Amino acid sequence: MRSRIVGTGSYLPEKVLTNRDLESMVDTTDEWIVARTGIRERHIAADGQATSDLALLASRQALAAAGLRPGDIDLIVLATSTPDMVFPSSACLLQKKLGIRHGAAFDVQAVCSGFVYALATADQFIRSGMHKRALVVGAEVFSRILDWKDRGTCVLFGDGAGAVVLEASAEPGILSAHLHADGAYADILNTPGHVCAGKVLGDPTLKMDGGAVFKLAVRVLEECAREAVEANGLKLSDIDWFVAHQANVRIITHTAKKLGIAPEKCVVTVDRHANTSAASIPLALDVAARDGRIKPGDLVLMEGVGGGFTWGSVLVRW
């Protein structure tokens, strides 16, 4: 038994924050941001709009695309670094909002690699026969953990959610997944604050060594892509679509160049969405699926890299 993606969905909050808007908030310019990241705008969740709210709207789209009802789902895996609360998990809150009262639901925390980790996890549950249909979601409200005075980080991130429905199938959709982590790099990207005795201790905003992250990301994404195609007896030239984590357009283009993947095969949404962490891959995937770029039979390589440090890839036959 294998698993196939049978539906995709996404949601972006209504509020759009452009680079021009940021010029009045922090010492930066539109030209500076675009030249270094490719980002032009990002979406920001409304006050009171939580991760599970964004996930709900993306999930409804994915279910509709799959022609399924919420009750057909027996597993929810939600990737996020910005959960609604300490517990219960945002996956359980999403399950309640969908009206599902059976199966399993849990969160996965691997930061920007979260969706890849969640997709690989759900795939294994379906392969084992334990579950038949899974809802896999990446959802974030990163705007809540940013220091809006730090021009090196606040310009990079946005909020959003993306979702896919996985279904058991005799034919392989997900060919393989490859997950990695190395905690030795924890210091170059983190949010060090935590809650203790009702108080926030440490700094609860995101910290990043941009240069170190860039170098590591390009290296591990290249290695993981090669690992994925070699594991399936394929070549990099067989890849029809490269859907990488949308952190920075330069990371995507540098990685694609190292792999020999043509620019027109790269799905890029970072200009409109910015870095939405675990939501970035499913958001980009949904865009390409809905505009008709990804067609049945296409070979799609998804890759993520994020704090931890974590990284991984999923190779899919559409």
Report in angstroms the alpha-carbon separations of 245 from 100, 199, 242: 30, 33, 10
Measure the CA–CA gap between 95 and 128, rounded to whole angstroms. Answer: 22
Q: Is 150 exposed, middle or buried (0-12, 13-18, 19+ CB in 10 A)?
A: middle
Pairing of strands 174-181, 75-79: unpaired
Nearest partner of 83 among 70, 92, 95, judged by Cα? 92
Q: With a cut of 50, which residues of the chain have pLDDT below it?
A: none
Q: State residue 305's pLDDT score.
A: 98
What is the third-level CATH fold of 2-171?
A: Peroxisomal Thiolase; Chain A, domain 1 (3.40.47)
Q: State residue 91's pLDDT score.
A: 99
Q: State residue 227's pLDDT score.
A: 98
3-state secondary structure 230-241: HHCCCCHHHCCE
Measure the CA–CA gap between 294 and 288, rounded to whole angstroms. Answer: 6
Residue 227, by phi and psi: left (phi above 0), alpha (psi -120 to 50) or beta? alpha
Which run of H or E residues covers position 298?
A: none
Q: What is the DSSP string of 133-164?
A: EEEEEEEEEGGGG--TT-TTTTTTB-EEEEEE
What is the third-level CATH fold of 175-317?
A: Peroxisomal Thiolase; Chain A, domain 1 (3.40.47)
Catalytic one among 131, 178, 245, 273?
245
Measure the CA–CA gap between 189 and 202, rounded to whole angstroms. Answer: 15
pTM of the model: 0.98
Q: State residue 90's pLDDT score.
A: 98
3-state secondary structure of 97: helix
Residues of the chain with CATH 3.40.47.10: 2-171, 175-317
Catalytic one among 131, 224, 273, 275?
275
> Per the structure block, which two tokens stand in for 249?
């357009």
The residue length of the chain stands at 318
Catalytic one among 92, 112, 154, 224?
112
Q: Is 275 a catalytic residue?
A: yes
> Per the structure block, which two tokens stand in for 268?
């890029």
Angle between helices 249-259 and 30-37 (to 10 degrees): 20
Measure the CA–CA gap between 307 and 79, rounded to whole angstroms. Answer: 13
Nearest partner of 130 among 140, 122, 119, judged by Cα? 122
Q: Is 178 a catalytic residue?
A: no
Q: State residue 172's pLDDT score.
A: 86
The structure tokens 């294994």 sit at: 124
Q: Is 232 a catalytic residue?
A: no
Nearest partner of 166 among 156, 155, 174, judged by Cα? 174
